Amino acid sequence: MGQGLRATFAFARPLDNALAAATLSAAQLALFQRLRRAEQLHSLAVLRAISAQTATVPSDLAVAALLHDVGKVCYPVTVVQKTFAVLLRTLAPARYLQLSKGDPKSPLARPFVVYERHAAWGAELAQAAGVSTTSEWLIAHHQEVANRWQGHPAHALLVRLQAADDTN
């Protein structure tokens, strides 16, 4: 609910482009700027939350924080659509799963497909913008259960990214 309200009133909140510009390359910044304002604000909040966890933020993690949702630019969804997808995922998981396998061009299926596939799409876009393999991996897996990747060299970074994403 909080994320929906923040998205609704994103127009009234300042956008810290300097933080994004200091973290991303020119190509990555151009990709970040394709996100909707609410998504840019969310990504900046994720980066700030990670920064608050510890004094040192690896650049791979900072880049992933800013670009983790960039796959959403492929098929934008409204706040209402996003909210409906989150609710259906909780209340009717079988129906949600069925819709998430649909065509993202379909207005009915789009929010569910985007919710499920944006991480993979984002990893592809980020890779094309020149992110490191670690940042790409973090973007691709940011919605998966972190314990599945225990033992992976970037597991600890994934846990940090998810914690910050979940609270913002």
CB 43 within 8 A of CB 66: yes
Asked if pLDDT for residue 4 goes beyond 70, the answer is no
pLDDT at residue 10, rounded to an integer: 46
Report percent pLDDT > 70 for the chain.
92
pLDDT at residue 3, rounded to an integer: 54
* Tens of pLDDT, residues 112-162: 999 999 999 999 999 999 999 999 999 999 999 999 999 999 999 999 999
CA-nearest of 156, 130, 147, 135 to 68 is 135
Q: How far apart are CA 119 and CA 140, in angstroms?
A: 5
- Average pLDDT of the residues of the chain: 92
Q: pTM of this prediction?
A: 0.89
pLDDT at residue 2, rounded to an integer: 52
